Structures are given as structure tokens and as C-alpha cells.
């Protein structure tokens, strides 16, 4: 049985619509996980993660800290980490 071309096109369009939604859901989940880990590692709860706080707590962030902190502030925010994770 062959599907009419119109149905095939609609099925393709629906599948394309599903992609951004699942990507957004994955991104939201990833950002939530980053925020939770950041909160645990930010031991003084100032909203800034220093390299010392990242050491042992967020090892991948620690090993790339200087790259992420391109402005050399000495700390990272959760938004900066999330932005790097999105790339």
C-alpha cells in the first residue's frame, strides 16, 4: 500500500516539528542539571564558581576553567557554564 504524497509530506513535517521540541527538552534538562551541580559546588553560595570550588566537584569545568573564564574574572556563573554546554 502506498501513501499519498500529501500524507508523506505531512508525516515529514510532523517529524521535523518534533525535533526542536525534544532538543529543547534535552537542553532544559541539561541546564537544570548544570544549575543543580553548580549550586552544590558553589560552597559559599555567592552565585560565582571559582576554580577552587570547581576542583573535584565539576572536574570538566575545572579542567576548562581558564578557557570558559575568557575575561579572567576568576569565577564562572551558571549562565556561562550553560552557554558553553550548549555549544
Question: Could you read off the pLDDT of 44-74 as tens digits, one per residue?
Answer: 999 999 999 999 999 999 999 999 999 999 9
**Interior CA angle at 83 toward 60 and 78, to 5°?**
70
Q: What is the pLDDT of residue 43?
A: 97
Question: Could you read off the pLDDT of 9-36 as tens digits, one per residue?
Answer: 333 434 444 445 566 778 999 999 999 9
Q: Which three cell numbers stand for residue 15?
A: 517529524
Q: Which three cell numbers stand for residue 71?
A: 575575561
Q: What is the pLDDT of residue 24?
A: 76
Q: What is the pLDDT of residue 2?
A: 57
Question: Is 27 in contact with 35 (CB distance < 8 Å)?
Answer: no
Q: Does domain 28-86 have CATH number 1.10.238.10?
A: yes
Q: Which three cell numbers stand for residue 39?
A: 549550586
The pTM assigned to this predicted structure is: 0.71
Q: Is pLDDT larger for residue 25 or for residue 8?
A: 25
Amino acid at each position: 500500500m502506498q501513501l499519498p504524497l500529501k500524507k508523506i509530506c505531512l508525516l515529514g513535517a510532523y517529524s521535523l516539528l518534533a525535533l526542536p521540541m525534544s532538543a529543547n527538552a534535552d537542553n532544559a534538562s541539561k541546564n537544570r542539571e548544570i544549575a543543580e551541580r553548580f549550586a552544590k559546588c558553589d560552597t559559599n553560595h555567592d552565585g560565582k564558581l571559582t576554580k577552587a570550588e570547581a576542583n573535584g566537584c565539576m572536574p570538566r569545568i575545572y579542567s576548562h576553567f581558564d578557557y570558559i573564564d575568557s575575561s579572567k574574572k576568576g569565577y564562572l556563573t551558571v549562565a556561562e557554564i550553560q552557554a558553553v554546554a550548549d555549544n
